[in-house]
Structure 1
Amino acid sequence: MQHPDAIPAIIEHLEQQLQSDLRCPKCNHDHINRWGTLKHLQRYRCKACHKTFTALTGTPLARLRKRELWMQYADSMLSSEALRKAAARCHVHLSTSFRWRHRFLKLADYLNTPVLTGIIEADQTMFRESFKGKRKIAKRPVRKRGNDNKKRVT
């Protein structure tokens, strides 16, 4: 299996983000040990729940394979290539291309989402109401279908 010579910038960013607030993603405990490496990524182990994790755990990139092709696939996304063309460019299956596209789009939201703190107040909440399947609807007027008989010229 080929390993990349350098870790892509996205993974470096995720590792720096994890280092700034090193907590277990499972139990949120802050007593963490370094626990070797896993595929060129630092691995950590929680002292409380004994679970191991990396910087990718809990992110949209978790459990995705072929890390060496991610940057090439990201380039194909930036150049607006279709799924089939991007799959052929990276030599992956179409279903893999579809999965990667959606995970990379989720990653963009994940990295750009600010953490909300404090009290949040909402003034109005609107809910759509469905009358599907109801035979008697008293809240709204009956819809008229077809031609209006009053406008008919005889």
Structure 2
Amino acid sequence: MRISMRNLLFTLILSLLALSFTANAQQNAGMAGHQMGNSKEKLNLKTPRVPFKYGLGMNKFRSLCSGCHGKWGDGTEQGPPLLHAFYIPTHHSDDAFYRAAREGVRAHHWTFGDMPKVEGATRKDVDKIIPFIRWLQKENGIY
């Protein structure tokens, strides 16, 4: 049985298109849950040893933020994971984190509801929390 080069090329192109369509559908299905729901996705979370310079930020994060965002920023039933591409610096800048802590945030990516301002959080607290979050994001390959 001989297969013409034209038929082989056609079959190869169809196969590549099918693989591409499947990969895009799976990626879009994963993102849809993040944009529409608050179900917690299983993260391949790395919990590396926290360098000393981020220790105070980690402690402040744990006392002020982890109730909603999880001990390691991996989210809870009350709030989204900060270890998500939505929170990379080019999409949510450090200033956005300051405003969220100071003023709260209207829900726009998730269905957890609006984030209230963080009572008791000072500018100095957030000055320590943000570098911890950014370090944790980098350690987990978010950016």
User: Which is richer in strand?
Assistant: 1
Q: Compute the TM-score of the two structures, normalised by the length of structure 1.
A: 0.27
Which of 1 and 2 has greater Rg? Answer: 1
User: Which is richer in helix?
Assistant: 2
Give the number of the structure with larger relative contact order, counting CA–CA contacts within 8 Å between residues 6 or more apart.
2
